[in-house]
Amino acid sequence: MPKKTDRKFYDAIVIGGGCLGHAIALELAAAAVKTLLVYPVGHGGDSATLAAGAMIGAFGELVHTQKGPVERQKLEFRIQSQDLYRPWLERLQEATGVEIFTASGIFMIANRHGRQDRANLEHIQSQLDRYGRRNEWVAPKEVPGLSPTKTFPTLKALFIHDDLSVDSADLMRALGTAVENSPFCTVLHQRVASIVPRKGGLSWRVEAPAGEWLEAANVAVCAGARVASVLGDRLLPKLKLPTLSFLKGIGGVVTGAPSFPHAIRTTNRSDACGVHVVPRARNRLYLGASSHLGYATAAARGITPGEVIAILGDTSYEIHQELRDTTIEELRFGLRPACADDRPLIGRTRLPGLFLATGTLRTGIVMSPRIAQVVAAEILHPSHPSGNPFPADATRPAGPATGDLNLANLNADRGLGAYNEWRQHGAASARARAIEMWKRYLALAEKDGDARIRDMVDRMEAGESVADWIW
């Protein structure tokens, strides 16, 4: 057990090393809150922030089939955050001296490859007009850098003046430097082992794997797709959250590309963000994107050949034919957190002093300045309204009534991690642990259990030989 002298006390502990975690830590530090930012060494391998195209646009996520009050709330929250963005970036650059590459304006296009492209684009334009945002229709041949194949001619193009794109790597360098320079911020590069409420409910204890105890009156968890793992078995059932999941997103950076002064993207397609190219610093170009649901330990394998083919093929066919002849500098993937009720989870929870910032899917970077304001306001002034439409507390409908799918999915993921360990190293203990974790998963998930996992447990218990299992 750690000695009493191993304990360190803070006003707030923020768990998560992406854009949201850094933004929240800086917002708290600006209010002279003694803050600890915790994330593991080597963070970034599956970071949604670093893998993102980072197009800062409130309207690009709209599709014409979703027009309810929740979509309106999400749009207006994104608008609030986008309005904060340029001053936020200017403050970061001034405070750190780190130059953050940006490109103003985004072209959105429609072509025959996306069956709903035109309807989505017209809906986006109508909402831009409704909120008084500058936009104009542009002849496709006048869009700089747009040169698709004859198979996928561009049918319509819309230029959104106030949107911008950001080099996410530059942004993270600036955020990291700002945190390091702050007299009120400390960074600990460790993975969190557990979060435990202290007796009396007046503080929280965060335990790092080395056995160090860290205590704070407030803890904010913004660990992306790892939120369920950080919260763990004891907290997840108490929080009654909507079911959490993630989408694996893929993107790449190339050199030797034609010039693109502005980002170009299609509208959303099949619950994904469509095809896009985004300018980057030093004459590089970001290409994206693909996405699919999965388990975290399966996605952590990295990027598949099929995903690379999809990115390069779609951008070459639909945006510029010469992209096929560029040089791949970097491929990245990120795990984008999502909620079953299709709304972010922001701020206070059912447990006093515990806060969340997750479920943002593709809009975490876009919404970071506003989310940071909301979370900091709720920590600093717990009894005051914060203007938060997406709280994670009892005002939000509870998650699944039967079992707990978040706890179930956590065990599914643990089982897959143990299975991979067994396949790679042949340890019998890992094989037994995989079966145990998957049985827990199936008991909790009940009728919602994944048939693939049930089949795998049956085969492993029957002693059958199993091939590598890749999702």
Task: Write out the two tokens for 392.
Answer: 């994670």
* DSSP string covering 137-196: E--GGGSTT-B--TTS-EEEEEEEEEEEEE-HHHHHHHHHHHHHH-TTEEEE-----EEE
Q: Is the peptide bond before 52 cis (omega within 30 degrees of 0)?
A: no
The CA distance from 144 to 110, in Å, is 15
What sections of 66-140 are H helices per DSSP?
69-96, 117-130
Residues 6+ apart with CB under 8 A from 354: 195, 197, 204, 218, 219, 221, 235, 239, 348
Please give the radius of gyration of the chain, using alpha carbons only, rounded to the nearest integer.
Answer: 23
Q: What's the pLDDT tens digit per position in 231-257?
A: 999 999 999 999 998 888 889 999 999
Q: Which two tokens stand for residue 3?
A: 């000695």
- Given this model, what pLDDT does residue 307 score? 83
pLDDT of residue 253: 95
pLDDT in tens, 69-100: 999 999 999 999 999 999 999 999 999 999 99
Give the residue from 11, 9, 19 showing the smallest Cα distance to 357: 19
Half-sphere exposure of 146 (CA within 13 A, CB side): 29
Return the pLDDT at 250: 86
The percent of residues in the chain predicted with pLDDT above 90, rounded, is 65
> What are the pLDDT digits (tens) for 343-371?
999 999 999 999 999 999 889 999 999 99
Q: What is the pTM of this model?
A: 0.93
User: Span 202-211, mean pLDDT?
Assistant: 83
CA distance 292 to 304: 12
Beta-bridged to residue 114, according to DSSP, are none
* pLDDT(403) > 70: no
Confidence of residue 425 (pLDDT cuts 50, 70, 90): confident
Lowest mean pLDDT among 40-44, 78-82, 278-282, 305-309: 40-44
CB neighbourhood size of 404 (10 A): 21
Contact 85, 19 (CB under 8 A): no
pLDDT over 50 at 1, yes or no: no
